[in-house]
A and B are shown apart, each in its own frame.
Chain A
Amino acid sequence: MRVTVCFYSYFKDLTGCARTTEELTGGSTLDDLFRALVVRFPRLGTMRKATLMAVGVDYQSRTYVLREGDEVSLFPPVQGG
C-alpha cells in the first residue's frame, strides 16, 4: 500500500522535502513507516524520540495501523503562541 508523508518545520530540512510517498506492506504501523523513512532520510533517525506523528488531522501512536491512502504528517514538538 502507498501512504503520503508530509514533513513540517525543520523536518523539511532534515529530509530535503516537504512531501513524499512510501510503499509499505499491508498491516504496517506508524512505527514501521518511521523506520522505512529513516532508511531514506537518515537524519530523521536522530529525532526518533521527539517526533510527533499524525494521520489526517489527529495525533496517533506508533502502533497505529496504516491504511492505503493515509496522509501521515511528521513534525517536531510544537511551539505555538
Chain B
Amino acid sequence: MKKQVTITAEPINEPALLAQRAMSQGMGAAVCFLGVVRGTEGNANISALEYEVFQRMAEHQINLLLDEMAKRWPIESVRLVHRVGLVKVNEPSLWVEVVAPHRGEAFAACQCLIDELKRAVPIWKKPVKGDP
C-alpha cells in the first residue's frame, strides 16, 4: 500500500491534491474526506482553531494506523494531510484520500482511519475567539 502523510502549517491545497491522484486499472473507488473548522465549539462562537502536534510521534502513530489498515483492506493508497497551527473557520484542517478496488472498503477504511486518528494521534486543538 502506498502511503503519503503530511503534517503541515501550510493551507491544504485540495485542487492540487486531487490533480496528483494516481489509481491503477484495478481500482474502482477513491474516497476523499475533508475536515473543516466549524464556527462553534460547544456553545461558543469561535474564529479559528489552534492545532498543536507532537510531530515525530504523530507521523509514527499515523504510519502504524496505515499498516493496520493495509492488513484489513485491499487498499492501493492512502494520502493524508493534517494542518497544524492556526486554522480559521471554514478552512480545512484534514484531508484524507483512500483508493481501493471497491467503495465499501474505501469508505470503511477512510472512516476507520479518521476515527483512529482522533483516538491515537497526538494532535490537540485550542479554540480561538475574536480575531485570529
Q: B121 touching A57 by the CB < 8 A rule?
A: no
Assess the A78–B114 pair: CB atoms within 8 A: no
A81 to chain B, nearest CB (A): 5
Contact B57 A57 (CB under 8 A): yes
Which of B12-20, B24-32, B122-130 interfaces with chain A? B122-130
Classify chain A's interface size: 10 to 19
* Residue of B35, B56, B94, B118 touching A78 (CB-CB under 8 A): B118
Is A64 an interface residue when CB atoms closer than 8 A count as contact? no
If over half of A's interface residues share one DSSP class (helix, strand or loop), that class is named, otherwise mixed; here it is loop
Q: How far is the CA of A79 from the CA of B60 in the complex (A)?
A: 17
A:49-81 near B, CB below 8 Å = 52, 54, 56-59, 73, 75-76, 78-81
Task: Give chain B residues whose Cβ lies under 8 Å from the Cβ of A81.
Answer: 35, 82, 93-94, 114, 117-118, 123
Contact A79 B56 (CB under 8 A): no
Are A78 and B119 in contact (CB-based, < 8 A)?
yes
Interfacial residues, chain B to chain A (CB-CB below 8 A):
35, 51-52, 54, 56-58, 60-61, 82, 93-94, 114, 117-126
Starting from the known contacts A8-B122, A57-B60, A80-B118, 12 additional A-B residue pairs (CB-CB under 8 Å) come to A8-B52, A9-B126, A56-B57, A57-B56, A57-B61, A73-B54, A75-B122, A78-B121, A80-B82, A80-B94, A81-B82, A81-B123
The 3 closest A-B pairs by CB, nearest first: A80-B123, A9-B124, A57-B60
Task: Please list the residues of chain A having a beta carbon within 8 angstroms of any beta carbon in chain B.
Answer: 6, 8-10, 52, 54, 56-59, 73, 75-76, 78-81
